[in-house]
Amino acid sequence: MILLEKAAELSNLVVAAAAAVGAFTAWRGLNTWRDQNRWQVDHELARRALIATYRYRNAIESVRNRSISKLEMMPEKPLHGASWLTLDGNRLAIERRWKRVGDVRVEIESILIEAEALWGDRLAWNFKKIFEIEKTLLQASRAFLRSIDESIGKDEKSQALAQVKELGNIHFESQPMEEDSFKIDFEDRIQAIEKYLKELMEGGRK
C-alpha cells in the first residue's frame, strides 16, 4: 500500500514537472515568435524608411543640379512664342524638381508616424533637422528665381540679389565638394539616419 502511495506521489510529481516544462516551452516559444515578429516589423518599416530617405536625398540633389534640361523647361502644353530659356522655363523646371521633393516628403511623414509608435521620436528628430536645411534651400530657390525675373522692380530685384548673395552657394551645388557647406551638412545628417535604420534592419532597437 505504501509503495502504491509513493508511486502515485511520484507520478503526480512527474506529471507536474512535465506540465511545468510544457508551460515553459510554450512560453519560450511564444516569446521567440513575438521577438521574430517584432524583428520582421522593424525590418520592413526600416527598409521602407531607408528607401524613402534615399529617394529624398536624390530629389534634393536634383533641385541643386546646375544643369536644367530643355525637357524640364517644356510646358505641358506648347506656348506660342515662348522660349525655353525664359524665367517661366526655369521656374517650371525648378517647380517640377520641388514637386518630387514634396511627393517624397508625404511618404516620409507617413512613415514617421509608424516609426514613432514603434521606436519613439528619434527618427522624427533626425528628419526635423534635415527639413530645416530643406527650408533654407527652398528660400534660396525662390531668391534665385526672383533674381532672374526681369519683370520685377529694381528695388525688389536688388533685394533678391542680396538674398542670393547672403545664402551663398546653397541653391546650386558647388565644386569641389569641400566648398559646398550645404552638401556636407546634408550628407552628414542623411548618413546618421542611414546608420540608424540599418541598425534596426539588423535587429537592434535603439
Q: Which residue did the predictor score with more confidence, 26 or 194?
A: 194
- Short-list 16, 139, 133, 145, CA closest to 68: 145
pLDDT of residue 202: 84
Alpha-helix runs per DSSP H in 64-180:
70-73, 87-119, 122-147, 154-167
User: Cα–Cα distance between 24 and 63 in angstroms, integer?
Assistant: 58
**Tens digit of each residue's pLDDT (9 = 90 or more) over 138-157:** 988 888 888 877 777 778 87
Angle at 58 between CA 135 and CA 77, to 5 degrees: 85
Residues 6 or more apart whose CB falls under 8 angstroms from that of 15 comprise: none
Least confident of 37-46, 89-98, 129-138, 150-159: 150-159
**Tens digit of each residue's pLDDT (9 = 90 or more) over 72-118:** 777 766 555 544 445 677 888 888 999 999 999 999 999 999 999 99
Q: Is the pTM of this model over 0.95?
A: no
Residues 6 or more apart whose CB falls under 8 angstroms from that of 27 comprise: none
pLDDT of residue 2: 54
Residue with cell 520592413: 44
pLDDT of residue 80: 53
User: Cα–Cα distance between 104 and 55 in angstroms, integer?
Assistant: 7
Give the pLDDT band of residue 15 (cuts 50, 70, 90).
Answer: very low
Mean pLDDT over residues 170-189, rounded? 82
Mean pLDDT over residues 119-129, rounded? 94
Given a cut of 90, whether residue 190 has pLDDT beyond it is yes
Given a cut of 80, whether residue 24 has pLDDT beyond it is no
User: Cα–Cα distance between 192 and 199 in angstroms, integer?
Assistant: 11
Given a cut of 50, whether residue 26 has pLDDT beyond it is no
pLDDT of residue 51: 96
User: Cα–Cα distance between 171 and 97 in angstroms, integer?
Assistant: 12
Quote the cell numbers at residue 144: 534665385
Given a cut of 60, whether residue 58 has pLDDT beyond it is yes
- Per the CB < 8 A criterion, the answer to whether 50 and 107 are in contact is no
